[in-house]
Structure 1
């Protein structure tokens, strides 16, 4: 068994063969060209014969170099056509290398084979994690939601109990949104969300209904303005999670007051003004919600820009490079 990191024994026999063959080819070409030039200089052969000989020697040298380069070209084609979702590159297993394989080509082959296996293992762990996390995290949240709905219908529940149930319900919905965002970010190749054409304004109206309920009890007024209307092709759930993270971040920033969500041409803006008795977040303390929103925006190529105006005015803008008209 070959130790990890040690050169393959078959490849070790051919170490430096690639360079030697190229040196031999170009050395023979140089000798042939020099001989042809000397033949022309001493009138041993006519000029046209010398030129023809040089052309033939150059063509043969090119064909020989192409043959030497063929293993590298085949390796490049295999790597270029490889799909990471199809698993490892079994055809690049080190034990399949021939005795004539050059050491440099063998090193590239071993490296690509190990890299492909690592990516395949990562994809498999990702699928298992997102599947298990989706089930194990959503199931107890569903039970909590059903239990709070049943408790809320109890007529004998005190006013304090009703407030507690509402707080549990809001915290559960926030946890659902957080789990949804983390699962979206955990999926590398497949976001797990159905893509479709959707109207941004419609999704925001539905999301703001839940957002107002989750912000119930906080001294924050949530407003919605839509000077423009446009559609997108993508996942409406991903879009809703992104906007909800920005609303949560703006709510934490302002502490009290008004959070305004606006739909502009190709842009969704979330703005807020910090309350008089609330210290706004420092520029370096952008919060967990904004970090999630930033990663989602980078994943789906929806540029996100956050800036604070005058030290108290919070403005976050999501720009959509390819908005669609609403029919």
Structure 2
């Protein structure tokens, strides 16, 4: 799946902005926490200095001596905190301990002239830290809200940024060769889009000229090629009525007539492939009748080889197809089967949406099956004279691709070949 340009622009701006917001929020949080620790350390340091000076100036202010702690325990707050016995083993300085799931700061300093006693000063900053955490949480919550707002704004701004690209895409979709004027670059503000419009207009003009030349060429080919072929066909039909032409001369006359028919079918196929709108021309086609019509030009060759044809298809079956294209495909497939089959016959059947054409020929080697649809490829023996130019199956594949007809070939040497063509059946009313 492809994402739109607007989505990509919005996603880029959203991710970039959210990343910057998160980095800023985390940086502010880390800085605030570091400043908090420095502030607490400064408060404790100043308070301890004042307390020690006060106790030294007036020892009567000292709290009662705690034998368990081997020192004096003083609280900076009115609420007294019972220190665990393990605190007496801590060195002098400020420490953080957890008491009743609260973070307590304890400052330890020597007392007395000999320094044998210790002073424990207890500080409880839980209320302050609680307010601090609330501020931090509010900051992170605000960052989340700004992130959502950023996503909304990114999609809005991206729509403004790509609106002209979307407009150009709509104009290109509706633009048909020869049916509308070129796109005006003056409608676009961005320099890059104006350059793109000019490049597209140039490409559009060159394509229009090429298609015009191609139409003229195909029209000339259609007239200049069909006219002599019709003349050859008519002359052959007149000469066949001459009883004086016998033997090899009549056989060669029939060869000329078949070659003219093949040339006419080839010209029709190439002209159909050159038509852009032919893929839309589909109609219900009687499958059995189409096969009978495709077999008619090969009646003499089938009789000469003694080949039997079996059409195992319901006469009421209709498929949705382009009639001329299907006729060309069937003609080429039948011609290929008749050419390579010397005994047995051809079997046509339709089942589960697939038309199968089976012959009893020598089959196709496994290494040649992937290449049978290649242009000018012939799978016959190199010593044998080629019966065609090797573009029949190539045209078949191109027509099948044009009309969406999957085609498959299955073959084994000595057991014949089966060509399967998927044709959707027409719904019955």
TM-score (norm 1): 0.70
**1:305·1:317 contact (CA, 8 Å) conserved in 2?**
yes
Number of matched residues? 281
Distance 1:298 1:289, change over 3 A: same
The answer to whether residue 350 in structure 2 is matched with residue 264 in structure 1 is yes
**Correspondences of 1:112-261 after superposition (within 5 Å):** 112-187=200-275, 189-191=276-278, 195-213=282-300, 215=301, 219=305, 221-229=307-315, 230-254=317-341, 256-261=342-347
Distance, in Å, in 1 between the alignment partners of 2:254 and 2:394 is 27
Distance, in Å, in 2 between the alignment partners of 1:157 and 1:294 is 40
Distance, in Å, in 1 between the alignment partners of 2:320 and 2:302 is 32
**SS at the partner of 1:191?**
helix
Instruction: For residue 63 of structure 1, report the CA deviation from its aligned partner.
Output: 5.9
Distance, in Å, in 1 between the alignment partners of 2:268 and 2:166 is 44
Greater RCO between the two (CA within 8 Å, min separation 6)? Answer: 1
Instruction: For residue 209 of structure 1, report the CA deviation from its aligned partner.
Output: 1.5
Q: Which residue of 1 aligns with 2:54?
A: none
Instruction: For residue 148 of structure 1, report the CA deviation from its aligned partner.
Output: 1.0
Distance 1:217 1:224, change over 3 A: closer
The answer to whether residue 412 in structure 2 is matched with residue 323 in structure 1 is no
Distance, in Å, in 2 between the alignment partners of 1:65 and 1:326 is 50
**SS at the partner of 1:91?**
coil
Q: Which residue of 2 aligns with 1:77?
A: 170
**SS at the partner of 2:278?**
coil
Q: Which residue of 1 aligns with 2:183?
A: 91
The answer to whether residue 400 in structure 2 is matched with residue 297 in structure 1 is yes
**2:295·2:334 contact (CA, 8 Å) conserved in 1?**
no
| 1:276-318 CA distance string (max 9 Å, x none) | xxx8564344542221111111111111101213554211111
Instruction: For residue 201 of structure 1, report the CA deviation from its aligned partner.
Output: 0.7
Stretches of structure 2 lacking an aligned partner (at least 5 in a row): 1-8, 25-138, 372-377, 380-389
Distance 1:86 1:301, change over 3 A: same
Instruction: For residue 88 of structure 1, report the CA deviation from its aligned partner.
Output: 7.1
Distance 1:208 1:217, change over 3 A: closer
Distance, in Å, in 2 between the alignment partners of 1:157 and 1:193 is 47
Q: Which residue of 1 aligns with 2:416?
A: 313
Stretches of structure 1 lacking an aligned partner (at least 5 in a row): 1-18, 35-46
Distance, in Å, in 2 between the alignment partners of 1:132 and 1:233 is 31
**1:273·1:312 contact (CA, 8 Å) conserved in 2?**
yes
Distance 1:118 1:253, change over 3 A: farther
Instruction: For residue 224 of structure 1, report the CA deviation from its aligned partner.
Output: 2.6
**SS at the partner of 1:257?**
coil
**SS at the partner of 2:208?**
helix
| 1:20-44 CA distance string (max 9 Å, x none) | xx99xx99xx99xx9xxxxxxxxxx
**SS at the partner of 2:344?**
strand
Q: Which residue of 2 aligns with 1:6?
A: none
Q: Which residue of 2 aligns with 1:111?
A: 199
**2:302·2:338 contact (CA, 8 Å) conserved in 1?**
no
Distance 1:64 1:227, change over 3 A: closer
Instruction: For residue 247 of structure 1, report the CA deviation from its aligned partner.
Output: 1.3
**2:288·2:313 contact (CA, 8 Å) conserved in 1?**
no
TM-score (norm 2): 0.55
Larger radius of gyration: 2
| 1:124-153 CA distance string (max 9 Å, x none) | 233222211111111001000111111112
| 1:55-102 CA distance string (max 9 Å, x none) | 9x978887665444332232122123223x446761245xx477x533
**2:288·2:311 contact (CA, 8 Å) conserved in 1?**
no
